[in-house]
Structure formats: C-alpha cells, structure tokens
Amino acid sequence: MTSPQSPPPSPPRDKSPIGRSLGKPDQGWPRWVVWAGLGLLVAMLVLPGLLRSDSGQEITYSQLLQRVRDGQVEEVQINTQSYRITGSTETGSFSTDGPPELPESDLQVLRENDVAVEYRTPQPNFFLSFLPFLLPVLLLVGFFVWMQRRAQGQMGSVMQIGRSKAKTYSSEKPGTTFADIAGYEGVKQEVTEVIDFLKNPSRFAAIGARIPKGVLLVGPPGTGKTLIARAVAGEAGVPFLSVTGSDFMEMFVGVGASRVRDLFQSARKMGRAIIFVDEIDSIGRKRGAGLGGGHDEREQTLNQMLSEMDGFEATEGIVMMAATNRPDILDPALLRPGRFDRQVVVPLPEAEERLAILRVHTKDKRIDADVDLLTVAKGTPGMSGADLANLVNEAALFAVRRGSESVHMVDFESARDRVIMGQRRESMALSDQEKEAVAYHEGGHAVCAAVLPNADPLHKVTILPTGMALGVTQQLPEERHLYRQDYIEDSLVVRLGGRIAEELVYGMVSTGANNDLMGATELTRKMVREWGMSERIGPMAWGSGGQVFLGEDLMTRSEYSDETARVIDEEVERILREQEERCRQTLRSYRAGLDAVAGALLEQETLDGAEVRRLIDQAQSGAQAPAPQPVAVVGE
C-alpha cells in the first residue's frame, strides 16, 4: 500500500544503531589474504623438490665406468650428500647413483681417461632450515594478536551496551497490513486515527487536534496484539521499531535508562515512526509495590520512559504503542493522559471473526471441499487467533499421517479433540470392569447434557483414554456473554452426572470424579462469593483476587469475617447437594437411556451427540415416560 505522502528518509546505516548487532568485533584480515599466505608457504616447501635439476639419461654405475673406458666422458659431478653422479657426453647428459665412496680402482679409471671429477655439496634451503625456529615465534605472535583483537571486541561491546536493541522494520517494505488481520474491525477503527495522524500530521495540527501519544493494546495472550501494531506501521508507511520489555534490563546499573534514551533518539532521527514495546508489564510494574517485587533498575528504566514520553510534542510524528495482558499491575503514571492515554482492548474473537481467521490460515493449505469452516468456527469458542492457527496446523498434520493429499473435515475434528482434550493414549489398556465403569461414568455426563434444557449441546463422548482422563464427554458451548443461573445449575448437574451414574449402577463411587468435583466446587463458590446467587449472602461479592486475564490467585486474604466464611461454606454445600439430588432424579428417570448409552460406548467406544440423543429417545420410548421432576432453584 502506497501512502499519499512519502515518509522522510531513514538515517544512514552507519549512524543508526537500530537493527544492527552491537559490539561486533573487527573481522581482521580478508579471507583471501590467509589463503594466499598458505599457498605461498606450500610453494616454498614443495617447489624446490619439483624443480630439482636431475635431467638426462638414467644409466647404471657399471655403464658409467664402461663409457669412461671408451673415452666418451670428459667430466662428472658427484653430490656429496645424495651420492648422485651426473655428467655429459657427445650424445647427451646422463645421471646415475654411485657408492658412498668411490673405490680406488674406479678413481684410477677416471684418472687414466682424463675425466675431470668435481665434488659438489648442495646448499640447504634457507627457509626450510629456519622454519623450525620461525614456527613457534609465529604461533606466539598470532596468539597475542588474537588476544588483542578479542579484548578490543569485548571493550567495544561494553562501550555499546547502553545502545538500544530495537529491531527496525523499514518503511519501504511494509510486511503487514490490515488485510493480513482477519476480524477485529472495532480494534482497527480505534487505531485508524493513529494511521491518519502519521500519514498527514499537518491536518491534525491545523485545527489543534492532539493525537494520543501512546496506545496500549490490552488482551489475552495470542489475540494478535503484536500483529496489529505491525499492521499499523505497514498501513502508515513509517518505520517500525520493535522491542520487548526484557531488552531494557541488564546486569549493569543504568543500562535500561540508557537504552530507553537511545531508542527515542533513534526514533526522532527517523522523523515519523512507531515505537512498539511488547510485554511492557516487565518494566512498567507499579513502583514501590511489594506485589511483584520492587527493583531499582526497573524503576529507573520506567522513570526514563515516562520522561521521554513527556519530552516529545504531540505533532512530532512519534507514536508509542505497547502490548500487555496484565494491565492491572501497570504503574498509574503510565496510564495517565499524555502518556498511554488510550487503551484498546483486543478480546478473544467471536464466531464470525474466528471464521475470518480460519480463512486466513487456510489460504496456503490444501483444503478439501467437505471442510465447513463455519462449523469449525462455531465449535471453537474461546480460542484465540494463535489457537486457531495451531488448530489448522494440527489438522494438516493429521492429514499427512493419514496419507491424504488434502485436509478433510475429519482432520479438523481430530485436531480439535487433540487441542481441547489432549492426545489419545493408545498404549493404555483398561480391564473389562474399568471399561464398563468408565462407560457408565461418561454415559451419566452425556445423558445429563442431552436432556437438560439449559446445558451446552453435547458434541461427543468417548471412553478411549485421552490426555489425563480415562474418558471424555465433550460439549460445544454456545457463544455467550451473560450466564444465567439456570445455565450454571445445569452445568453443575452435568459435572456431577458421572459420579451419580456410578452410584446408581454400582452402589458406590470411585476416584474417577475427582476433576468433576473440583470444577463443580469452584463454580459453586463463584456463584456464592462473586455472582450473588445465594439468598443468605445477598448482594455481596468478593473477587477471587486473580489477574484479569491469567486468572491466577497471587495471594489469599480474608475480606470477610469468619462467620461470613462459615455461611459461604454452608451455601456452597447446600447448592452442591441440591444439584446432586437433581442429577440423581434425572438419571433415575432416564435409567434406560443411561444403560443404552453405556452399552453403545462399550461396543463403539465413541459416540457423537446426535447418536446419544437417538439412543436415549429409543430407550425411553420403550420404558415408562418419566414424570416431571421439580427443579430446585437456589434461594427459594
């Protein structure tokens, strides 16, 4: 996408530290110099032997004496080291190997035939003779040179440790635009003003409008906050400086503040730019708070960032963006007007947005015609964009394992089961008694989910060991933003269905309901403590104390008296026992359906929701129609 106004040119590379590796030591001599030196050394060692002047006809020593007697030889040269004898005749030169010392008789023959004898001692190669002494010196000198260069490189790294580690994405090639982001139309509309300001800042300055200096993207992990920030840079056509909060922290004191200063100086040199800090909560925690730990270096880095954000004007052309999934621990000074004065919530995608995200991630996949992405989108509530990308990749992997040339709907079903329920444990073998108990346990969940009017639709039930469970009953929650009390009560009945089914069939319970009981107790406690669904407690609520998006309790403190805590425990017990009795009545009424579902599970191991409902209707039609049971309502 081409912006109507070209961005200012970027500074020369040798002046900007952004995007380059810091403290890179000198590379030393070029590589060709090293190879040339090695070649010269080999030539000096090998060529003298190759250029040895041993030429002429090779004859034996006896043939030499015979030629001397015949008067064909005038002179000979004898090598005192190799005892090589060379000479020449009218027909050409010759050479032969002689004895270490010529016998007196042979010398007499040479004198009688007037043959001049010359003894030669070859001079040794100066380089070869000096090499044993030169090599240790060269190694020692090379070691000291290497140590010096290494020390200089480390010193350069120390001197540049305060430089920013931000990565720069050039405005010439914006790799990401809003076309690459599916859904999130409301978020796009929020950041459109930032794009308009970066494209045409004079339009805002003319009427005195002030664009927000900082935009904080808040949302759960995996919702694409970093991708949205890069898309803003791509749409605006300006340089994009990306850095994480942990890049500012170092073992040396003052490094974080120095890197913050260098980051903003580099952005000012670019004219108009976007500074994006990912996971800003790592340096933006509340100062002086015991929660999360106080750290002087972190506080100094935060103070420098706050002063830098106050230092540039609103029309300067620098916009700071940040992302976090823990906004509740950020320092209030970061969130005040004039700094991060606009918070953009990036929520989990809705069904239509999930469909658009799935279409983006399936563009480069070979998808079969039987794949209905709308069904997949409706069956994945609560999944983020990263989860959906992982789901598509898992489906492609399942298709490869099956030997298929394209991804089918069955691959998406398998991938969803893999992501939600876990990997199937093929190696676990249950005994017949355990298998029957698991069948009735999962049958109890399935029957309650199928017959209760406010429960989530039943999707699949299996007795195959999956993940940490021996069997799984899977429901597909509908898109909800408000949870009614009757829906929560039906959810409790479904959770207790497995335990009550074992009790009705075997007269006792097992440890298989451990996870069900923990989930039901936690859900009931939220009904009483947070949602005001208890008449004895009344319109009072106490938060869980957990983080907004992580949902984890960092600390536990008492916000009510011991008497109130006792009342809360009594109310939690009362609601659970009421829903347990309601579950028991439901399964007694649909006992024929429970037996039919358990028998089908023992035979087929896996049933879908439609098959479970068909089995229940068929079994109940032959049995006595269940009488309507009173529904216990909390607080009445």
Question: Which residues are part of the catalytic machinery?
Answer: 442
| Contact assessment for residue 241 and residue 168, using Cβ atoms and an 8 Å cutoff | yes
| Nearest by Cα to 452 from 473, 481, 482 | 473
Which DSSP state fits 312?
A: S
Residue 207 tokens, joined: 């009427």
| Contact assessment for residue 593 and residue 615, using Cβ atoms and an 8 Å cutoff | yes
Residue 338 tokens, joined: 């004039």
Which CA distances in Å does 537 have to 397, 448, 492, 524, 529? 51, 29, 20, 13, 8
| Nearest by Cα to 273 from 7, 2, 6, 14 | 7
d(CA 69, CA 107): 12
Residue 328 tokens, joined: 């509740």
| Nearest by Cα to 98 from 55, 62, 71, 52 | 62
Pairing of strands 75-79, 116-120: parallel
- What is the CB-side half-sphere exposure of residue 261 using CA atoms within 13 A? 10
Residue 125: enclosing H or E segment and its boundaries?
none
- The CA-based dihedral angle spanning residues 521, 524, 526, 532, taken in that order and rounded to the nearest 10 degrees: -160
Q: Report, in angstroms and rounded to the nearest whole number, the Rg of the chain calculated over CA atoms.
A: 43
Residue 303 tokens, joined: 């103070």
- Residue 221: Cβ within 10 Å count: 12
* DSSP alpha helix (H) spans, 454-507: 485-506
Hey, which residues does 243 pair with through a beta bridge? Answer: 277
| Nearest by Cα to 508 from 430, 431, 441 | 441
d(CA 382, CA 520): 20
